[in-house]
Structures are given as structure tokens and as C-alpha cells.
A and B are shown apart, each in its own frame.
Chain A
Amino acid sequence: MATKQGIHKSRGGLIRSFVTSENGIIKDITISGDFFMFPEEALFIILEQLKGTPANHTALRKNIEETYKKENIQSPGTSPSDFAESIMKALEG
């Protein structure tokens, strides 16, 4: 399984995703970027929750939105859809 990289620029900053997937399912994701998120540690929860998610934009976005609600996340200028977009760019290589 190769790790693929995707880059997406949101209004709040650049999101670089490193994604491994197998049979259309997310195995692992790491993210590097200059965006903001409050609380910061919530990004690790988002990434953990994404493991096992079908590798398509809607499923990714919905999964991230759920964690946003649960963890009361704010990220000015960056939305769950922006993270999904960055991850999809990695998957589409």
C-alpha cells in the first residue's frame, strides 16, 4: 500500500494529506498544514475516526462533520469539506 499525497488550499490555510487506502477503504491518514483548529487536539480524533471510511468525498465529509459536532470544533476558513477535498486529491493521485 503506497501512501499518496494530496494538497488543497482552503481560505484558512493549506492542507496536505498523506493517505493509504485498500479496496476503497481508508487505512491511514496524516495531515500537515498551516490552518487553524480549535481545539487543536481534535485533529487527531478526526484522523482516527476516518480509518475504515469509504474513500469518497461524501462519506469523508460526513464522517468529519460528525466529529466536528461531537468535539465542538471550530476552524475559521477551513471546513470538513476542505479536508475531504484534500484527502480525495491524494486518493485520485
Chain B
Amino acid sequence: MEEWRFIDFGLVDIRDMMAMDEAILKGDGGNTFFFWTPKKSIILGFFQKADVELNLARCEGYTITRRISGGGIAFSDDRCRQINYGVVGTIDNELFPLDIIESYKQICGVLIDTLVHYDLNAAFRPINDVVVDNKKISGNAQTRWEGKLLQNGTLLLDFDIEEMLRISNIPEEKFLDKKIASIREGLTWLDRELGEERDMEEVKDIIKQKFEERFMVGLKPGTLSKKEKMLTKNLLPKYYSHEWTYR
């Protein structure tokens, strides 16, 4: 069986993680699956402006940076009960389809298989969400570079929705009032769905197992290569810079 690299970065500063994320995409480590858990933070999508999307006066205590993929804010509260993952793979039309939505569907399938394992009614909702009974439980974002893809996503185990609304800049437009209600009613998390707290390591093990089954590979623990470490070092100043985050 083919072996792919697996790394669990544990609890991380998102600026360090986003640098490693980009380094894995642009590095020489081959197909890789990795986990991390973000400390209290906000990651802006590539096209989002901090002062437009966030109520910055209320964001004290949050580490903020930007990622290289589009999509919306990835908000992590200090409960730290989110499993974030990354996949880097060579686009080959079989395991990682060229079609963007198909490739989201394929990778999100790992999370769906995991949620189904817990007897939940999970499904893919294009373009980039996984839902349980039509409520979003996982957001995902993909970018591509020289024939490879990088997909990041999160599986919420617990989530402080009121805190997220507090730091967000929700527009006052009328039709967006409905959006606030739909955010509140449209999100869910694993602890709520199962009615109990599951051990995060246990859930990660299931995700890993479902990944191996879906991609028909073995995941072998590894580390960043020399080249990836060098790339990370060079990328760190960007993710720590005011220019990148608040551009």
C-alpha cells in the first residue's frame, strides 16, 4: 500500500501554522495529511479585509493573520475544541480531481465518513461545507499551486457562536439581518450533536482511519523536510506582518 506522510502539529500559533501550511504546499514532502489545533485566533480568507469583516476594537486577545486560500473567517475561541486539518496532494483526477467542487467533495468525504461513524446525518454542501442535518459543522478552503492542491478545514467539536458574532462585522443591510439568524441556526458542532464531549484524540484517530480508507493509503508519521523548514523560515515574516494581515 502506498504511504503518505502524516503530521500532528498539536496546539499552534496560527501564524506559524500558516507558514508551515504554505511550505508543505510548495515543498518536497509529497502527499501529506496533517492536523493542528489553533490557539485563540482569527484567520482571514485571502480576499477578506480585516477592517471590513471584523469589529477590530473587539478583537483584542486574538491572533489575526491571513491565509493563501479564499473563503471566510476561520474563528477559534479559547475553548480550543476544533480539529483543523490540511491535505496536500498532487492533482491527478482520481484521488484529487481537477474539478474544484469534485475535489472539495472528495476530501470533505473524509469528514462525512467520520460523522457517519458517529451515526450523524452528514452530507457535502457545495461549494465547501460539510453539514449535519443541513447545519454547517465544517468549513473548508482550497488553493492550488503548480499541479498540487492544499485544502484546509475545520471540524467543530465545540464553538462559541455568540463570541464569533461579537467580533464579526455583520453588515446592517436588511437582508443580512436574516444572515445573522441563519448563522446562529445554521451552525452546529460535534459535542452538541452527540450530547456529550468526545475525546479529541479519539475523533482524530477516526478521521485518520477514514482518510486512509477513502484514499486507500497508509499514513506514516513524519516531519517537515529540510526544504520545508527553510521555506517556513522564509514565510514566517509574511504571516507575522501587518501588511499581509491588514492589507
A residues with CB within 8 A of B: 7, 9, 11-13, 16, 30-40, 43, 74, 76-77
Contact = CB atoms under 8 A, between A and B. Distances in A.
B69 A40 contact: yes
Contacts of B48: 32-34
11 contacts: A31-B47, A32-B49, A32-B52, A35-B71, A36-B70, A38-B144, A40-B46, A40-B143, A76-B100, A76-B101, A77-B126
Given A7-B176, A74-B100, A76-B100, A36 B52 contact: no
Contacts of B144: 38-39
B47 A7 contact: no
B82 interface: no
Given A7-B171, A12-B127, A38 B71 contact: no
A11 B53 CA distance: 19
A3 to B, nearest CB: 12
B68 interface: yes
B71 A34 contact: yes
A40 B70 contact: yes
Contacts of A77: 126-127
B73 A34 contact: yes
A16 to B, nearest CB: 6
A38 B148 CA distance: 13
B49 A35 contact: no
A7 B170 CA distance: 12
Contacts of B73: 34
A37 B45 CA distance: 11
Interface in B154-198: 171, 173, 175-176
Interface pairs A-B: 6 shortest CB-CB: A34-B72, A36-B70, A32-B49, A32-B52, A40-B46, A76-B127
Contact of A38 (B49, B72, B100, B171): B100
A85 B19 CA distance: 35
A31 B100 CA distance: 23
A51 to B, nearest CB: 18
A37 B175 CA distance: 25
A62 to B, nearest CB: 22
Contacts of B46: 40
Contacts of B128: 36
B127 A34 contact: no
A39 B46 CA distance: 11
Contact of A13 (B72, B100, B171): B72
Given A36-B128, A38-B144, A40-B69, A16 B52 contact: yes
Contacts of A38: 100, 143-144
A32 B246 CA distance: 12
A37 B126 contact: no
Contacts of B68: 40
Nearest to B67: A40
A37 B68 CA distance: 11
Contacts of A7: 171, 173, 176
Contacts of A16: 52, 171
